[in-house]
A = this chain, B = another copy of it.
């Protein structure tokens, strides 16, 4: 999926500026689709406008660039519906942490422990945050998405807790995964 489709999707929930689209794309509800920087979003909105899929009205502000508020058009809705009708691409999951674990043989026990603990802490934060977000979210689609992410994070956190000891034995020079700890 690309930034244009993301913009269309976000605008299908209501009007927004490029700045607001960027913020929403980082929101728990929308952060699982594509990463998008300002430099990707602004030109995307220009192109969408040229294609007639969104319209734009300027709102003047003092001391700031004009707000350019975008709305999805009927043509935009149609194009978006068509995009949704296509088979969704398979989920993509990429993890440098797993790469690290895969190469555990060439790491020290301490390095593995640090990576493991940081990751667990990271998931703790994520899970707490998502629980908050879920109670605050009143949109059913959003709740489904947040719940999905939550299920995933809780499962991997549990996996890390359960396999912490085994992971430490991946370390260089540790040839007896059954002994010690």
Residues of A within 8 A of B (CB): 1, 9, 12, 29-30, 32-35, 77, 80-81, 84-85, 87-107, 111, 115, 118, 122, 140-142, 144-145, 147-149, 151-152, 154-156, 158-160, 163, 166-167, 169-170, 177
Q: Measured between C-beta atoms, what is the minimum distance from A176 to chain B in Å?
A: 11
Q: Measured between C-beta atoms, what is the minimum distance from A106 to chain B in Å?
A: 6
Q: Are A29 and B107 in contact (CB under 8 A)?
A: no
CB contacts (< 8 Å) of A90 on chain B: these are 122
Q: Which of B33, B97, B149, B159 contacts A96 (CB 8 A)?
A: B33
CB contacts (< 8 Å) of A80 on chain B: these are 103, 106
Give 15 A-B pairs besides A91-B93, A93-B94 with Cβ atoms closer than 8 angstroms: A9-B99, A12-B103, A32-B98, A33-B94, A33-B96, A84-B106, A84-B107, A87-B118, A88-B95, A102-B145, A104-B141, A105-B141, A147-B159, A151-B155, A151-B156
What 7 A-B pairs have minimum CB-CB distances, sorted nearest first? A155-B155, A88-B96, A151-B159, A91-B95, A92-B94, A88-B97, A102-B141
Q: Which of B84, B87, B93, B104 contacts A32 (CB 8 A)?
A: B93
CB contacts (< 8 Å) of A147 on chain B: these are 159, 163
CB contacts (< 8 Å) of A107 on chain B: these are 84
